[in-house]
Amino acid sequence: MTLRRGIRWVVRHGLVRRTVQRQMRAGDLGSRLMMDPTIRENPFPCYDELRAQGRLVRTDLALLSAHHDVCLAVLRSPDFGQMCLDQVPGILRLGMRLGGHPVLTPIEPPSMLVVNPPEHTRYRKLVTRAFCARTIAAMRPRIEQIAEDLLDEIAQSSADGPVDLVSRYASLLPATVIAEMLGAPVAMRRQFLDWGAGAALSLDIGLSYRDFRRTELDITALHRWMLGHFADVRRTPRDGVLSSLVAAHDQGDQLTLDELSSIAMLLLAAGFETTINLLGNGAVLLMRHPDQLDVLRAQPQRWAGAVEEILRYDSPVQRTGRLAQRDTEVAGCPVKAGSFIVVLLGGANRDPAVFPDPHRFDVTRPEADQNLAFSSGIHYCIGAALARLEGEIGLRALFRRFPDLALTGTPHRRPTRVLRGYDAISVRLTSPALTATSAPSALHPSEQG
C-alpha cells in the first residue's frame, strides 16, 4: 500500500470499520445494518425492528429512521444538508490533508450528490434539461430497439444453455442507453461497467483496504479516460450531454476540470449502476411471483405501476444520509446541529403506515408510487424518468420475448450495501416443463419479511 493511500483508507474507512465492527459485536443495530453480512442479504426484519423502536432511533453510530414520514421530512428540510469538509472532526480533517489529493469519488465534493447549494444548484442546472420528462419520453423507441437487439443476441447465442441475465441484459441495457445519451463510445460499455462496479463500492462505509484500493484505481482510470474524452470532444464536437458540459466549461461557466469530470462520471456511473439493480431485482421478483406476471400479461397497462412496486419492494438504493446544519426538529423529534441521520429508504418503503401489508409484492398496489426509491428534496434523482422508462421497457420486453423465463439457481447478491441488487442471475430461457411450483421459483427467505 502506498503511504498516502494507506492514510486515506484509515481516515475514510479503517477507523470507522474498527468502531463499527466493535459495536456490531456488542449488538448495536445501526452498526449491524452497516456491516453484518446476514443483514445485507435481508435487511427488512432489521428495518422493522428499528421502526418499532422509534421514529428516530439513536444508535452508537448515528440517528436512524425507517419511518416514511420522518425520512421524507429530513430529505425535504432545508435544516439538513450534506457534510462539508469543515464539519469533519479536527483529527480526521488533518488525516484527510495528509492523505493527499483524494480521487473524485461520488461521495466527496465536488460530487453533485454531496454538495449543498449554491454549488449544488450550479452543477444540477447544467444537466437538468437533458433528463427532463419530455426529453426522456422521446427516447422510448430507441430504448425499445436497444432492448430488442440485446434479447436477439441472447436468443441466438444461448437458446439451450443457462444465461446470466445481469451480464447479458440488465447491465448492458442501461450502459448502452447512458453511453449513447452522454455521447460516450458504446463499444466501451463493458469497460465502463467494470469501472462503475469499482466506483459503486465507494458508496459503502468501512471498506476493506482491498476494496478501497479497487475503488481508487477504477475511479482514477475513469477520470483519466474522461479527461482524454473531453479533449477529443473539443477537437471534434459531437452530440450528447458530455459535449454540452465541455462547452459550458469552455464558455467560462466557472467549472473547474475536476468539477466537470465529477459531474460526467456521476452521470455515467449512476446511469447504469442503479438501473442494473432495478432490472435485476424486477426480473427475479417476477420470476418468483408468477401470479404477478400473470396480472401484467392480462393488464399490460399496469407495467408502470409494477416498476414502482419493484422500486418500493426491493429498492436499488437502500439508504442515504443527511447532517443537521442547525438545531432543529423533525417529525416532532428534536435534533442537534451536527447530528447525522441515516435515512433508510428501503425501510421507509416498507413502512406499514403508508404501504399496508408492506412485505407483500403486489404490482396492483395503489400507493406504490409513494416510494422514496429516488429520494426527495433537492437531491431527488435526476435520472428517475430515465430509470423508470428503462425499467418498464426492459422488463416488459424480457418477459414478452421469453415467457417461460425461469431461474436455474439462487441469484447472487452483489457485495454492496447502499446499492441492493444482483451481480449474477442464472436463467433458462425456455422451460416448458418448469412451472411455478418448481423449486427455483419458490419465495426466497429474504422476501418473507
Q: How far apart are CA 10 and CA 213, in angstroms?
A: 12
C-beta contacts of 350-358 below 8 A and 24+ residues apart:
350/44, 350/47, 350/48, 350/66, 350/312, 350/313, 350/449, 351/51, 351/66, 351/67, 351/68, 353/67, 353/68, 353/69, 354/68, 354/69, 355/312, 358/449
Q: Which residue has the cell 461521495?
A: 107
- Does 168 sit near ligand HEM (CB under 6 A)? no
Residues 29-58 vs ligand HEM: string with x where CB under 6 A? ------------------------------
CB 324 within 8 A of CB 341: yes
Nearer residue to ligand HEM within complex by CB, 10 or 330: 330
The angle, 0 to 180 degrees and rounded to 10, between the axes of the packed helices 257-273 and 209-235 is 110
Which residue's Cβ lies closest to ligand HEM?
Answer: 383
Task: Count interface residues toward ligand HEM (CB under 6 A).
Answer: 22
- By CB under 6 A, name the one of 74, 266, 306, 335 that touches ligand HEM: 266
270 makes contact with ligand HEM (CB under 6 A): yes
Residue 269 Cβ vs ligand HEM, minimum distance, rounded to whole Å? 8
The 225-264 site mask, x for binding ligand HEM (CB under 6 A), equals ----------------------------------------
Residue of 57, 200, 317, 330 interacting with ligand HEM (CB under 6 A): 317
Contact status: 207 vs ligand HEM (CB under 6 A):
no
Among residues 29, 293, 324, 373, which is the contact residue for ligand HEM, using CB under 6 A?
373
Q: Which is nearer to ligand HEM, 9 or 422 (CB)?
A: 422
- For ligand HEM, the closer of residues 24 and 193 by Cβ is 193
CB-CB contact of 343 with 65 (8 Å): yes
Q: Torsion-angle region of residue 406: left (phi > 0), alpha (psi -120 to 50) or beta?
A: beta
Q: Name the β-bridge partners of 72.
A: none
Binding to ligand HEM by CB under 6 A, coded x per residue (else -) over 374-403, reads xx---x-xxx--xx----------------
Cβ contacts of 115 within 8 Å, gap of 6 or more: 82, 109, 123
Contact 245, 126 (CB under 8 A): yes
Q: Which of 24, 71, 113, 405 binds ligand HEM (CB under 6 A)?
A: 113
**Residue 137 CB neighbours (<10 A):** 10
Q: Of these, 278, 293, 323, 348, which contacts ligand HEM (CB under 6 A)?
A: 278
Select the span of 151-159, 314-322, 323-331, 346-354 touching ligand HEM (CB under 6 A): 314-322
Asked if 146 interacts with ligand HEM (CB under 6 A), we say no
Beta carbon of residue 19, minimum distance to ligand HEM (angstroms, whole number): 23
Instruction: Report if residue 205 touches ligand HEM, rule: CB under 6 A.
Output: no
Q: Rule CB under 6 A: choose which of 14, 99, 271, 346 binds ligand HEM.
A: 271
Contact 238, 232 (CB under 8 A): no
Stretch (H or E) spanning 33: helix 29-35
Residue 83 in the binding site for ligand HEM (CB under 6 A): no
Burial class (CB in 10 A: 0-12, 13-18, 19+), 436: middle
36, 39, 45, 47: CA torsion to nearest 10: 70
CB 64 within 8 A of CB 53: no
Contact residue for ligand HEM among 70, 146, 226, 267 (CB under 6 A):
267
| Straight-line distance from the first to the last Cα atom of the chain, in angstroms, rounded to the nearest whole number | 42
Where does this chain bind ligand HEM (CB under 6 A)?
112-113, 124, 266-267, 270-271, 274-275, 278, 316-317, 320, 373-375, 379, 381-383, 386-387
